Structures are given as structure tokens and as C-alpha cells.
Amino acid sequence: MGAAMSVNAPAPLLRLEGVRKRYPNGVEAVKSISLDVRPGEVFGLVGPNGAGKSTLLKLMAGLLRPEAGTVRVGERDLTGDPAAAARFIGLMPDPLGVYTDVSCREYLQFFAMVHGLAGAAFQTQLARAADVLGLGPWLDAEVESLSAGWQRRLALGRMLLLDAPLLLLDEPAAGLDVKARAELLDIVRGLSALGRTVVISSHILPELEELADRFGILDQGHWVEVAPGQAFFDRGELKAGLGGNRWRLRCAPAERTLAALRELSVAPVATEDGVEFSAASAPQAAACLRAAVQAGADVTDFRRLDAGLAEVVLKLLEGGTAR
């Protein structure tokens, strides 16, 4: 997918241009991917297992060296340079690994030392991270004694300490129960509110739908097109059915409504208890409603059909529009 598929924002924080990655076993996991992520944005990375999401996140963090393309944060080219990327990017990989034989305080102190943060500056950052993540009571507990959810909070704490402007979260809610998942996603929402830019990959689509500002669907190393020439979509577009703007009229008899709507060219389709059609705008939808009533139909319900992320992803993947 070329640059034409990227959303052109004035100053993206993260810019991927034509990134390609082939593994030594010959599998091309990422095929010429471009992406711009704007400052303060939460970008949701969606796709089936093996789509290339984790590979893409590792490419962003410099852990993998691409065959082609560049990864930039601001003006800095960080392609394949994890040490340079670490100053701008915090990565929570999947599966998550934390040092378990130390206390939470020592774990965070270690990463602070690695980044040259010490003394009063470390204490201030530690207090701030503990406050945001609710880690205060657990700071002196052994990491091993923490549940999976708290270990993930701790990993987020590592990134919070360091003020990295860009956070890459690979399946942050994997393996967590409903409560821990909701709490963790609340934290991510809070981080976004604090101005951090987040790229998050998740299979838990309902939560991601609420969390992310913009989405991209990956399949077989490509962005899936949601419309001709369009790879990314925001929450508003998602709610509107990604340009489909489907509306439903529950009415009887449906045949009269169907005939009336055919004249308006809104692609009406008969359903069990009425008609579904596409309208580009609310006034056009209202015109359709009027036409149905004038055609003598009894209308009992009229609403826009909001599309869920899961539904959209499934539909697009089944449609095989990856390129």
C-alpha cells in the first residue's frame, strides 16, 4: 500500500513508509506498509492471527530490521535501531516478560537506571507512575507475587517512568479477566488523555473500538481496504458503517417501501420485517422515510445501523479485500 493510503496529517509522530519484512523462513510478514500516527492519537491495529501485527510493532520499535522502508518518529529515522528507538518508544511486547525475582520498585529502578534516570528525578517519576497505575501499595512486593494484570501495569509503569511519547502495546489485555482488562484499558485511556500517542494491537475488538481513535486492519501483511483507496478509518466512520450508512425501516407491507426506495437509488434490500437501505446523509434518509410513508407503509421503527468493529473486520476479511 503506497503513501496514497496514508492519512496525510501535518506532523505525524510516527511515520512508516513502505516497510517490508521477510523472516529467514521466507515468510513475508509485512508487505510494504505505510502509516502515519498523529501525536496524541490512539491507533488500533486489528487483524487475524498471523496478519503481521506483532511484526509491525517490532519493526516500529526497531527490534526487527526491515528489508525496505523507513520508520521515523518525528524527524528521527529509527529503522532497525532499538537503542535509538527506546528514547521515543515504549514497547509492551506480547508475550510480556518481566523480571520476577525483584521487587516492583527494583524493576522500575532498573529501567530508570538504564535510561539514566536517578535520584530525585527517579523518585518523582516513580511516584507519578505509581499514582497513575495504582501501583503504590505493591512497590515493595516481589514481581513474582503479582497477578498477570498487575504485571502488565508494572510494564506500563516502565514506559511511564521514561516519558516516551509513543507507546506500542501488543495485546495488552491478553489473558486478563474482564475486570483487569477494563482497568488496564482505562489506564491506556488515561495515558492517551495525558498526551501519549498509543499504537495498540488487540483481538478484543469491543474494547479497542471504544479506545482507539483510528483503526487499520492488517491481513497477510497488507492493510485491508475499507473502501477503494482507503486503508484507515476513524470511530465516526465505523459507526456510520464505513461509508455504507445503512439504515433500517421496520414497516409493513415491505414491498411498497421497497418499490418506493428503488426510485431513490438507495440500494434497498428486503429484510424479515422491513427494508434496509444506504443513505449518504441524514436528510436523504429522512426523504426515504417520507417516501415509505407516502407509499402507504406502516413504519414502526426507523434507525441507522451502527457497525461494530468486530462485524466490520469479519466482513472485510471475508471479502478478501487485502492487497
Partner 1 sequence: MNALYWLDMRVRVRERRLWVLALFFVAMPLLICGLSLLAAFQGNGVLEPGNAGEMVAMGAIYCQAGLLTLLSPLAAAQRISQEREQRTYAALVNSPLSPAAIARGKLLGAWTFTLWLGALTLPFVAAAALWGGLAPWVPFACFGLNLLAGLALSALALGLSGLFGRSLSAYLASGAVLFLWCLALPMIGGLTLGIVEGGPEATLASTRAIFCAFFLHHPFAPQIWTTMRGSGAVVTFVDWGVWVPLYGVGAWLVLAWLGFRMAVRGLRREVY
Binding footprint of partner 1 on the chain (CB under 8 A): 23, 58, 61-65, 82-83, 85-87, 89-91, 93, 95-102, 106, 110-111, 113-116, 155, 158
Residue (158 or 246) nearer to partner 1, CB: 158
Residue (99 or 263) nearer to partner 1, CB: 99
Cβ 154 to partner 1 shortest distance, Å = 11
Angle at 259 between CA 255 and CA 265, to 5 degrees: 135
Residue (129 or 249) nearer to partner 1, CB: 129
How many helices (H) and strands (E) are present in the chain, helices listed first?
11, 15
- How far is C-alpha 90 from the geometric centre of its chain's CA atoms? 16
Give the three cell numbers for residue 233.
478509518
Residue (158 or 196) nearer to partner 1, CB: 158
In angstroms, the CA 268 to CA 279 distance is: 10
Residue (55 or 257) nearer to partner 1, CB: 55
Q: Cis peptide leading into 253, omega within 30 of 0?
A: yes
Cβ 64 to partner 1 shortest distance, Å = 5
Cβ 120 to partner 1 shortest distance, Å = 18
In angstroms, the CA 11 to CA 157 distance is: 27
How many angstroms separate the Cα of 78 from the Cα of each of 28, 72, 114, 225, 253? 21, 6, 19, 27, 62
Cβ 150 to partner 1 shortest distance, Å = 16
Cβ 241 to partner 1 shortest distance, Å = 38
Cβ 156 to partner 1 shortest distance, Å = 12
Strand partners, 227: 230
Residue (89 or 224) nearer to partner 1, CB: 89
216 HSE (CA, 13 A, CB side): 28
Residue (161 or 285) nearer to partner 1, CB: 161
Strand partners, 278: 246
Cβ 282 to partner 1 shortest distance, Å = 47
Residue (116 or 195) nearer to partner 1, CB: 116
Q: Of the candidates 36, 46, 34, 49, which has an alpha carbon nearest to the alpha carbon of residue 2? A: 34
In angstroms, the CA 146 to CA 154 distance is: 9
Q: Of the candidates 232, 216, 225, which has an alpha carbon nearest to the alpha carbon of residue 8? A: 232
Cβ 122 to partner 1 shortest distance, Å = 12
Cβ 89 to partner 1 shortest distance, Å = 7
Residue with cell 509491525: 56
Residue (73 or 226) nearer to partner 1, CB: 73
Collect all residues with Cβ–Cβ distance below 8 Å to 46 and sequence separation of at least 6: 53, 201, 202, 205, 208, 215, 216, 217, 218, 309, 313
